[in-house]
Amino acid sequence: MYQKIKLPNQVRLITVPQKETQTANLLVLVKVGSRAENLKNSGVSHFIEHLMFKGTKKRPSTLALSKELDGVGAEFNAFTGKDYTGYYIKSDTKHLSLSIDVLADMLLNSKFDAQEIDREKGVIVEEINMYEDNPMMYVDDLLEQTMYAGHPLGCSIAGTRQSVKAMSQADLLGFKNQFYIGNNIVICLAGNFNSQHLQELKAKFKFPLSTKKFPINKIKIKQNKSRVVLKFKETEQSQIALGFPAYAYTDKKIYALQLLSVILGGNMSSRLFWQVRERNGLAYFIRSFLSVYEDTGALIIQSGLDKLRVESAMALIVSELEKIKKGVTPEELKRAKEYLFGKTALDLEDTSHLAQWYGQQELMIGKILTPEEKNKKITAVTLGDVALVAKDIFKINQSSLAVIGPFKNKNKFKNLLK
């Protein structure tokens, strides 16, 4: 069972003991991401994440920092999303004190050296180039640019080449000091730890005291017709992402939507995998998944399709969407529920997933459901619930489509979405 306490500086500390393992995962989540940015400072959250690994007074370089953690076989990294930023170290429990000391040092004492900032600009520009050169990775970004056009959710997490190159030390430190404060942070420690480790956590994570709240720039998607964006690229395979506006974290319909996504394209026995790949050989890779934010979300279908048969593959996908709006079978719903139960059980054997499970819920919802509580909500979903969600979500003429491949004519894709 987890425990939650609020530290004197308003940081929320979640502990999830798992004594049967030999590892511990320390995760720090900060409730700031690219949706808190504007066109001028686009990518600043992601840039800050990079700079946290560039050295402190105690560990003056990336090499000094990484040698300590590599020397004990620890896993360490960070990630930036649109709603939040995360930093973690996973290690053998006997090295947890080192993990606590290093992560606190990084987040509180990073130097933000001007030379490192200039050097890292080139690294981030190359990261942007890498994503844009990889259609399978970039098509989701392209879709969200289209779905959330005009809102920060539609902007790239990494920013633009121009915004990154223009960023100054003062810009970066000003943004960090605004958001890296007590009330905006959740720390989750999952795995095998003891009371001494908890005392070390409380002593070292001295983020500035604050009760300040940051209201988000909420979005309400109003889409009366389909949207199509093409990125011309001479590829052998076309990449498509088809998105439907859906639900936020806290929407009660999210559990029915999860099950619908599993049945549609969540695994190798799903409808889309079976029809598009196995029966008709139109794709190697096809899936559906949920992209969920604090105030909105989407169900997304992504696939790499034979470029000569994109239209027939898209027609088949649309046909499957029309079919699923008529309902799913009791057997499909039962299998989807068991699939989610099984995936949860497997994931939560890993302390990394365990920390993410509890920490993300606290950060984004302010309320934590245990795996057992979430499973009860999934169990309660009925065939009627899934049918209602399918009819609500799958409005083809209000969807968004991103396509990367050797195409220049939008109209043929728009015609598929009527």
**CB contact set of 401 (below 8 Å; sequence gap of 6+):** 143, 146, 226, 227, 228, 229, 240, 241, 242, 243, 413, 417
Question: Rounded to whole angstroms, how far apart are CA atoms 254 and 239?
Answer: 27
Decide: 172 and 44 in contact? Cβ < 8 Å.
yes
Quote the CA–CA distance of 132 and 3 in Å, as a whole number.
42
Please state, in angstroms and rounded to a whole number, the distance separating the CA atoms of residues 53 and 113.
11
Whether 241 contacts 143, CB under 8 Å: yes
What's the chain's length in residues?
Answer: 418
The phi, psi pair for 341, rounded to 5°, reads -60, -45
User: Which pair of structure tokens corresponds to residue 179?
Assistant: 């958001």
Angle at CA 268, nearest 5°, toward 263 and 269? 50
Residue 392 CA to residue 369 CA, distance in Å, equals: 26
Distances (CA, A) of 282 to 233, 270, 275, 306, 407: 20, 15, 9, 6, 17
Amino acid identity at 396: I
Partner residues linked to 80 by β-bridges: 85
CA atoms within 13 A on the CB side of 283: 26
Residue 123: C-alpha distances to residues 55, 88, 95, 118 (Å) = 16, 21, 31, 9
Return the active site residues.
Answer: 49
